[in-house]
């Protein structure tokens, strides 16, 4: 599987992701205290969703994520929508993002020194449907087969859509990641998988991040793995742990800091960074730790993405200084196993003798 990120990485740059969709909808005056969360606006004011997508593209995002994180067939059924209507809502969400991307790309000025942006169809965890904060715990008390059944219908619709890839976000457990990877393998649609983590070393369900990384390395249907909606301070260690154990691109898009209260559905505490902070953006540390794609999650907005792009463009992550010609990139585990760094070409991986050259194309 060719990574959707390849056009960016081959150009010697990281992928800049978007920021919080719900955050911007709330700033625009929408009340998201609802089991559907941001998907509520798909029903009430879809133009507002498209406007947020447009704002992130203008801020420099290379990838925008659809408003389908909390849009599920059971959730929409509880709102009174039939199966056909729920499918239409999911496809409308993708179309809004695609329309925003196409409108942005139609301007010649927007194409200058840019790669055509990607549209990712967002897939939230089972806990997002429960709307009780359990996406930050991950212990649902149901079997993997039940998780596959829960996700299947939405997955099939989004995988058949115009989206370039699927983005599985805020996944709190290895078991749910495995359920989603099984669906990805069936569909053949590229998917990244991003975990929610409780600290610098563990997923929210307690699984060591190194164990999750080892699994992701072998999951052929998952083209990238990473972390999102966690504390920014945890990100460098988490990214480094992932990058040390897989050669797949690592994504990192934490929230802005603070704590989320599932009972009140409110964030407390001040963000760790402001959009006009004069310090170097912490995304630089995520890139140096090995991230290939960086952005923001809850409580971040277009100004944050603008700062990330200004800081990150032209400064590839350290692990991408090996150079890239085809698919994925080398990792220390490859070097340990084969005694050398991989050499990449159109035929896939092959290994050259001698010590790895860490100075490859794109080095700063």
Q: What is the pLDDT along the chain (364 residues), one digit of tens a residue?
A: 789 999 999 999 999 999 999 999 999 898 888 888 889 999 999 999 999 999 999 999 999 999 999 999 999 999 999 999 999 999 999 999 999 999 999 999 999 999 999 999 999 999 999 988 888 888 899 999 999 999 999 999 999 999 999 999 999 999 999 999 999 999 999 999 999 999 999 999 999 999 999 999 999 999 999 999 999 999 999 999 999 999 999 999 998 865 655 555 565 555 665 544 556 689 999 999 999 999 999 989 999 999 999 988 766 555 554 333 233 344 444 434 434 333 322 223 322 222 222 222 332 2
What is the reported pLDDT for 93?
98
What is the reported pLDDT for 134?
83
What is the reported pLDDT for 357?
27
Secondary structure of the chain in the HEC alphabet? CCCCCHHHHHCCCCEEECCCHHHHHHHCCCCCCCCCCCHHHHHHCHHHHHHHHHHHHHHCCCEEECCCCCCCHHHHHHCCCCHHHHHHHHHHHHHHHHHHHHHHHCCHHHHCCCCCCEEEEEECCHHHHHCCCHHHCCCCCCCHHHHHHHHHHHHHHHHCCCCCEEEEEEECCHHHHHHHHHHHHHHCCCEEEEECECCCCEECCCCEHHHHHHHHHHCCCEEEEEEECCCHHHHHHHHHHHHCCCCCCEEEECCCCCEEECCCCEEECCCCCCCCCCCCCCHHHHHHHCCCEECCCCCCCHHHHHHHHHHHCCCCCHHHHHCCCCCCCCCHHHHHHHCCCEEEECCEEEECCCCCCCCCCCCC
CATH of domain 14-315: 3.20.20.330
What is the reported pLDDT for 259?
64
Q: With b meaning 16 or more CB within 10 Å and e meaning fewer, what string describes 195-217?
A: bbbbebebbbbebebeebbebbb
The pair of three-digit structure tokens given for residue 89, joined into one six-digit string: 């809502």
What is the reported pLDDT for 95?
98
What is the reported pLDDT for 340?
35
Distance CA 353, CA 166 (A): 37
> Are the C-beta atoms of 16 and 3 separated by less than 8 Å?
no
Q: Where are the domains of the chain?
A: 14-315
Residue with tokens 């806990």: 127
């Amino acid at each position: 599987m060719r990574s959707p990120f390849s056009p960016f990485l081959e150009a010697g740059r990281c992928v800049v992701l978007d920021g919080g969709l719900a955050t911007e909808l709330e700033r625009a005056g929408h009340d998201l205290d609802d089991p559907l969360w941001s998907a509520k606006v798909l029903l009430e004011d879809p133009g507002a969703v498209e406007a947020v997508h447009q704002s992130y593209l203008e801020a420099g995002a290379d990838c925008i994520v659809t408003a389908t994180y909390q849009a599920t067939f059971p959730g929409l059924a509880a709102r009174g929508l039939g199966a056909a209507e729920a499918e239409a809502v999911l496809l409308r969400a993708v179309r809004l993002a695609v329309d925003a991307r196409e409108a942005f790309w139609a301007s010649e000025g927007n194409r200058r020194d840019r790669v055509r942006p990607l549209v990712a169809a967002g897939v939230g965890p089972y806990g997002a449907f429960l709307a009780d904060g359990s996406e930050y715990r991950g212990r649902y008390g149901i079997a993997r087969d039940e998780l596959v059944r829960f996700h299947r219908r939405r997955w099939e619709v989004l995988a058949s859509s115009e989206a370039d890839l699927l983005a599985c976000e805020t996944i709190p457990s290895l078991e749910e990641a495995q359920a989603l990877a099984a669906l990805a393998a069936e569909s053949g649609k590229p998917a990244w998988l991003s975990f929610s983590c409780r600290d610098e070393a563990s997923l929210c369900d307690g699984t060591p991040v190194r164990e999750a990384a080892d699994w992701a390395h072998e999951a052929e249907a998952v083209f990238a793995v990473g972390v999102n909606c966690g504390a920014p301070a945890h990100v460098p260690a988490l990214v480094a742990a992932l990058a040390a154990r897989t050669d797949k691109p690592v994504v990192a898009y934490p929230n802005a800091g603070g704590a989320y209260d599932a009972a009140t559905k409110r964030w407390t505490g001040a963000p760790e960074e402001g959009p006009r902070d004069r310090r170097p953006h912490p995304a630089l540390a995520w890139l140096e730790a090995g991230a290939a794609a960086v952005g923001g999650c809850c409580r971040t907005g277009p100004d944050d993405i603008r700062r990330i792009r200004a800081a990150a463009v032209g400064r590839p992550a350290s692990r991408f200084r090996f150079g890239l010609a085809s698919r994925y990139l080398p990792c220390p585990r490859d070097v340990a196993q084969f005694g050398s760094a991989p050499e990449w070409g159109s035929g896939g991986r092959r290994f050259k003798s001698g010590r790895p050259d860490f100075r490859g194309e794109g080095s700063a």
